[in-house]
Amino acid sequence: MGVGFPRCGTSWIAKQLKDHPEVCFSVPKEVHFFDRERNRQKGFSHYSSHFEHCVDNQVVGEYTTSYFLSNQILEDIKNNYPNIKLIVSVRNPIDRAFSNYLHNKKRKGFKRTFTKEISDKNSMVLTSGFYHSHLSRIFNYFPKEQVHVIIFDDIKERPEEVMRGLCDYLDVSYHSVADFINEKVNSHNIFNFKSVYLNRNLKWIEYEVLHGRLNFIHKLFKGTIFSRFFYYLLQKNKKTKATNKKEVICEDDKEKLINLYKEDIGNLSELLGVDLSHWVT
């Protein structure tokens, strides 16, 4: 089960696991069973419905990036799945915050500037990046051997090593993922239409249908006008994105975030035994 953190390459991780024949991933990727009361009240029969397509002997999982948010969620997971294997991905918190902001901007009515967003100390854009604090809480409920931490930098620079470590952790074979291990890290900007819901659903269709994950839909639509129309949308969207000016973080905001996260990054480096000083230089 993936429990964090948003905008840290979690879609890339989920995609690799979805394509592994020994792994069965939930549909959709983020089930939001433990963090949304309306889903939790439906009971575990509702939760299990997201894995009905799985077969015996497969490793079953999901990746909801907000499960790290509260102790109550972690305790609920622990009580029901005490031996579960957790996955956490971390990224330079400054880059993560800006990526999170750009993602939020796609929502209808969102008009905050990044400077305004990071002035709100309670904004999830900010608080999600205090990895040491969050991981310390996770370790209060789960031993370290049940928590596999992936660093986003390694996904970009050493994807094969990342997947080998992940496969070892999940006790699945490595050779099955070799064909797609070098694919580009997934981006939330596959679609850039005004509606975030349209973007999200088109993104899901792009993966599930065109990659044949849902075989009956894949067989029904592959090679039809539906498939051609979808590729038309892809090409049109690429042209739209190419004309859009890329927004970048200003130096003042960057310096503010460096000062904000510096101590937590140092503590995280010590916790993981990894030098992350380049995140603040």
Contact 74, 67 (CB under 8 A): yes
- As to burial, measured by CB atoms within 10 angstroms (0-12 exposed, 13-18 middle, 19+ buried), residue 267 is middle
Of the pLDDT bands very low, low, confident and very high (cuts 50, 70, 90), residue 179 is very low
**115 and 231 together in one domain:** no
**152 and 270 together in one domain:** yes
- Three-class SS of 173-210: CCHHHHHHCCCCCCCHHHCCCCCHHHHHHHHHHHHHCC
Q: How far apart, in whole angstroms, are the C-alpha atoms of residue 3 and residue 73?
A: 10
Of the pLDDT bands very low, low, confident and very high (cuts 50, 70, 90), residue 133 is very high
Cα distances (angstroms) measured from residue 153 to each of 18, 146, 179, 253? 21, 22, 21, 22
- The 10s digit of each residue's pLDDT in 230-247 is 666 666 666 655 555 678
pTM: 0.80
Of the pLDDT bands very low, low, confident and very high (cuts 50, 70, 90), residue 107 is confident
Number of domains in the chain: 2
Cα distances (angstroms) measured from residue 100 to each of 97, 129, 196, 278? 5, 10, 14, 20
**64 and 197 together in one domain:** no
Q: How far apart, in whole angstroms, are the C-alpha atoms of residue 105 and residue 194?
A: 10
**209 and 261 together in one domain:** no
Share the mean pLDDT of the chain. Answer: 86
**200 and 266 together in one domain:** no
**27 and 125 together in one domain:** yes
What pLDDT was estimated at residue 108?
A: 73
Start-to-end C-alpha separation, the chain: 33
Helix (H, G, I), strand (E, B) or coil at 54: coil
Of the pLDDT bands very low, low, confident and very high (cuts 50, 70, 90), residue 188 is very low
Rounded to 10°, the helix 159-170/10-18 angle is 60
What pLDDT was estimated at residue 255?
A: 97
The tokens 């931490």 sit on which residue?
149
What pLDDT was estimated at residue 239?
A: 60
- Residue 44 identity: F
Q: How far apart, in whole angstroms, are the C-alpha atoms of residue 157 and residue 177?
A: 17
**107 and 198 together in one domain:** no
Provide the domain limits for residue 209.
Answer: 193-243
**33 and 130 together in one domain:** yes
**141 and 230 together in one domain:** no
**119 and 181 together in one domain:** yes
Q: How far apart, in whole angstroms, are the C-alpha atoms of residue 240 and residue 200?
A: 17
**180 and 200 together in one domain:** no
Q: Which CATH number does the domain housing residue 23 bear?
A: 3.40.50.300
**134 and 231 together in one domain:** no
Task: Measure CA 6 to chain center.
Answer: 5
Contact 74, 138 (CB under 8 A): yes
What pLDDT was estimated at residue 178?
A: 43
